[in-house]
Amino acid sequence: MMTQDITPDNVDRMLLRVLEETFTAEPWRREEPMVVINDVTGALSAWTLDQDLPVRFIQDSASLAAAHARITGSVAAVPTPEVLAGAATVVTRLARPLEALEELSWQVARWAAPEVIFLAGQLQRHLSFSFNPILERVFDEVTASRGYHKARALRAQRPKALTGLTPPRFPRKNTVTVAGQTFHLRAHGLTFGAARLDPGTQLLLETIQTQPPEQFTAQATVVDLGSGNGTVIAGLARSFAVGRYIATDDSASAVLSTLATLAANGIDGVGVMHQSGMVDLPDASADIVVLNPPFHAGTQLTSDIAFFLFDEAARTLKPGGVLLTVFNASRHYRRQLQHRVGPTLQLARDKRFIVTQSQKVH
């Protein structure tokens, strides 16, 4: 039976029904390797184990990997030829970026078994016809399941003959200029914003360049919390000589993107970490934390992630250390920053974004 404290959502319920239909029509698939990718609730993972299926797990999110570890045990952070080898059934939830499906569908078509069925599900209101051509580039047969629970799965089969070690357009590449400096950005499919320059990030970097806090010293430890495609850490490392730079992100895709951006710009000496918040960093260990908090969890708007990251910054900052935050003006985070971190000043604002500096007092 499924673990009692796991509640499947409508996408899970739909995918579970489609999987049952698939296994009823083709019972042989139950005996062949299966891969569950980026399970959100843990329900898919628990079901596959309850069914005693030969399953492997991939989880991009460090926080979800930790939350589901009691079910899945250790998991792979990214798709690899080894994890996908021989897989006859691969199931995932469609992410918002089209780039995510482009990268993952190539990996499944290239590395899984020739008889693989790739099931990618989402609520019907978040589906678009833009997904189909992406799948059709690498699979000869693309269909849609019936709709269940206001959700539907795209089914891709008969992978095309592909060559190469990585998807041809990944990581994505872009060159941008911020505060008079030119950077080469790189991004993998699940990385927020792809290889684009986020306008909030641009305002944050420009503000730091013109109003650098006094904590930028030769001995300082500076953390880019939620490093994404690496724009911020590359900009800081180019501009300020400090004792230690750390870039960290919950997303394995973002970690790979940050590493690729640093390499593309010839920047070394930065510690890059895949973790939930800053769980692996000690209390009172950072002089400066820089943050552009996400306000989406999948397709849902949320402030919970931002509040968690504010608390992590407060824990990790030394007394007198500062958190530099950029956020959409509609989010009204200043009161929370004041409460969770310390005295907060507005450093800059444009039509969409606000940059603040919060100082930890104790």
Could you tell me the two tokens for 312? 């992590």
What is the rounded distance in angstroms from the CA atom of residue 360 to the CA atom of residue 352? 26
- Does 44 share its domain with 181? no
For the cut 90, the answer to whether the pLDDT of residue 161 exceeds it is yes
- Does 285 share its domain with 248? yes
* Mean pLDDT over the full length of the chain: 96
Last residue in a domain, options 136, 159, 182 = 159
Buried b (16+ CB within 10 A) or exposed e, 196-212: ebbebbbbbbbbbbeee
For the cut 70, the answer to whether the pLDDT of residue 97 exceeds it is yes
pLDDT (tens digit per residue) in 264-304 = 999 999 999 999 999 999 999 999 999 999 865 555 666 88
Question: Within a domain: residue 345?
Answer: yes
Confirm whether pTM is higher than 0.75: yes
The whole domain housing 196 covers 172-359
Picking from 125, 115, 122, the residue whose alpha carbon sits closest to that of residue 145 is 122
Q: Tell me, what CATH number does 43's domain have? A: 3.40.50.150
Residue 1 pLDDT = 41
Identify whether the C-beta of residue 108 lies closer than 8 Å to the C-beta of residue 118: yes
Residue 303 pLDDT = 83
Q: Count other Cβ atoms within 10 Å, centred on residue 34.
A: 23
For the cut 70, the answer to whether the pLDDT of residue 166 exceeds it is yes
- Does 187 share its domain with 152? no
- Does 248 share its domain with 296? yes
Last residue in a domain, options 131, 159, 187 = 159
- Does 205 share its domain with 339? yes
- Does 48 share its domain with 88? yes
Domain count along the chain: 2
Question: Within a domain: residue 14?
Answer: yes
Check the CA dihedral 228-211-327-275 and report its sign: positive
Listing from the earlier edge strand, what are the strands of the sheet with 55-58? 55-58, 34-37, 89-93, 117-123, 151-159, 139-144
Question: Within a domain: residue 262?
Answer: yes
- Does 90 share its domain with 210? no
- Does 182 share its domain with 151? no
Last residue in a domain, options 124, 159, 194 = 159
Average pLDDT over residues 54-77: 97
- Does 115 share its domain with 65? yes
For the cut 90, the answer to whether the pLDDT of residue 255 exceeds it is yes
Question: Within a domain: residue 134?
Answer: yes
